[in-house]
A and B are shown apart, each in its own frame.
Chain A
Amino acid sequence: MKKNIKFILLGILFGIILIKAEVTSWFRIQEMFRFQSFHMYGIICTAIVVGIISVWLIKKYRIKSVAGEEINIAPKIFHKGNIFGAIIFGLGWAMTGACPGPMYALIGSGYGVFIVILLSAVFGTYIYGLLKDKLSH
């Protein structure tokens, strides 16, 4: 339990950030896909730049984790799902206005119907597992 607490705390922080950033808002997602506001683009681009600099610094100075481990990041290996799966994800993102992180945050905020959307996403993942060998990768 002790080792889990730090992840719960960091999750709480992330949940607060997601809500205060309004990236969990269906309205904001629509505004983004319609190119009507800079808000979402500003957030995504800033986050990526901060992430790139952080990972670069961690690698350059061989910063270790608090447990003293060498930090390793699994590479992403290309397959066709990066195209087809990602397009399907994008369709769902514009419909529900939520990717997985915001779904959890919205449920916590009291938008109860997002439990149904989350369960549907779990079901989608299950069907992927069922069809995995038939889909091209």
Chain B
Amino acid sequence: MSILTQPWPWYVSGILIGLMVPALLIIGNKSFGVSSTLRHICAACTPTKLTFFKYDWKQESWNLMFVFGVAIGGLIAGYFWQNPEPVQLTESAVESMNQMGVKNYSGLIPTDIFNFKALLTLKGFILMVVGGFFVGFGTRWAGGCTSGHAIMGLSNLQWPSLVATCCFFAGGLLMTWLILPYIMNL
């Protein structure tokens, strides 16, 4: 059973993620990308006059089906095949995160910080609600996320995707090194 619950080495994971690109192209002539599902949800759920959300989202519903599958995959791999061991982080990473006040390393995410109760605290609200907002707002303005730009766009050698990928990292570095330590201390 441990073969199912163990995490996979980076090269296995990397190859499989990369193979998503040809798999989607060949089975459905679709370009890999997840963040447009957020737009489809807006188009499907919000009664709006905004032209940005006025399109036949059902025509694009393949990736809503795809992310529905992703959630089921999460249930299978993260719940039924849950890794009983904590994530094997480097010592220096644990040390840095200890300094930021992280205590619970048992799962995939620090559940002492990311939980429903914490939403009512300033720190939790900023990390989860504002953070989520940045992801959704930023990805649409950028025209894609890590899947659409960093994986699909770069696979197709699109230089705007290289710019976007570098800027994803720039934003992440800015947050991690300069801003996050303050948020974590709130």
Contact = CB atoms under 8 A, between A and B. Distances in A.
Chain B binds chain A: yes
A113 B176 CA distance: 22
Interface string A76-101: 11110111111111111111111111
B1 interface: no
Contacts of A38: 10
- Interface centre among A9, A90, A114, by most chain B C-beta atoms within 10 angstroms, is A90
B14 A7 contact: no
Interface residues of B, number: 127
A8 B66 contact: yes
A38 B90 CA distance: 10
B91 to A, nearest CB: 9
A65 B116 CA distance: 44
Given A110-B78, A113-B128, A125-B39, A90 B138 contact: yes
B115 interface: yes
A135 B47 CA distance: 22
A9 to B, nearest CB: 6
B21 A76 contact: no
A96 B109 CA distance: 10
Given A116-B132, A119-B132, 12 more contacts: A15-B71, A15-B74, A20-B13, A22-B87, A24-B109, A47-B18, A48-B18, A85-B141, A86-B170, A104-B68, A105-B74, A114-B114
